[in-house]
Amino acid sequence: MDKLIAQFPKHISDAIDIAKNAVLHIDNSIQFENVVICGMGGSGIGGKLVAQWFSESAKTPIISVQSYDLPAFVNEKSLVIGSSYSGNTEETISVIHQAHKRRATIIGVCSGGELYKFCKENNYDCIKVPGGNPPRSMLAFSLIQLVHILSKSGVIAKEALKEIDHCRHLLNTELLAIKQEAKKLASFIHNKQCIIYTSSNLEAVAIRARQQFNENSKILCWHHVFPEMNHNELVGWGGGNDKLAPVYLISSFLSERNKLRANLSKEIMLKKTPHLLEINGKGSSLIEESFYFIHIVDWASIYLAELYGVDPVEIKVIDYLKDSLSNT
């Protein structure tokens, strides 16, 4: 897994090449009323990131769906993107079949499997990415194809891929700092209960962080965002204790009111636990900053796995679940 994480900047470059060479037959006469990106786990987090990044600039609402069912509003003026690394994710396949019945425009992103076969049989575009690795380690490939599709469909700016490419340079330039932050983060979390806090515009990054600690480090953790957590979870800190270890991902683009909220929240938490870590973002845009945080947490999840003596690749409980579902 560590080798795959080390290749993350290169994955960005390789994924951009795949996107540039992909042939898409999008009907430009269709004015899409909505975009639905369906995917689960490591394949689905890309949809959440994209939906969040472009929520204020996209010409069309972008919705991330992680279930068996398609929203009722989807119709022939919808763009539905199925993102499944294996191509066999049953929830995603279910949604794509429903989208087909409703005559939506469908595009697949996968390494093969049933999704690829379905798209080919029904003359839908499908971008194929390299297979054979854990989906969570191939985020750049699925994520960048989603950005490319949205750009080509006119939903987001045509220059979007250029901004993604800048992220690669940031990760390479900041690699030493990223690894130092990651080691500090892993040491901080070790033998404690991790809670991730950040601003609402980075919630998808916090979700990705939680997922990486779940799968790679084999631990439970949770997340919440400002300002919403000030209206509920903060009260729960009345029962806080020194086993809790809040991690603050502080965006460079945090509003002044949310800075104040974060600082006041830290004061409250530090009355219950001596453990609190703050990591400051780097990057000239929210997208660059997201990649920066993602790479720190990816490395931290591996370092934490080493501290616990667990295999970051192993996912036996998920394999058991899938096998049990397939036999039912």
Query: Is residue 215 annotated as part of the catalytic site, yes or no?
Result: yes
Chain Cα centroid distance, residue 262:
23
Which residue type, as a one-letter code, is found at position 195? I
Alpha-carbon distance of 184 to 257, in angstroms, equals 28
Residue 131 φ/ψ region, left for φ over 0, alpha for ψ in the -120 to 50 degree band, beta for the rest: beta
Active-site annotation holder among 91, 114, 203, 215: 215
Contact 170, 222 (CB under 8 A): no
Give the Cα separation of 20 and 28 in Å (integer).
Answer: 18
Q: Which of 231, 256, 267, 316 is flagged as catalytic?
A: 231
Query: What token pair was written down for 242?
Result: 């020194």
Beta pairing class for 62-65 and 34-38: parallel
- Annotated active-site residue 231? The verdict is yes
Query: Any catalytic annotation for residue 148?
Result: no
CA-CA distance, 254 to 126, in Å (whole number)? 37
Please tell me the distance from the alpha carbon of residue 299 to that of residue 294, in angstroms, as a whole number. Answer: 9
Name the residues annotated as catalytic.
215, 231, 322
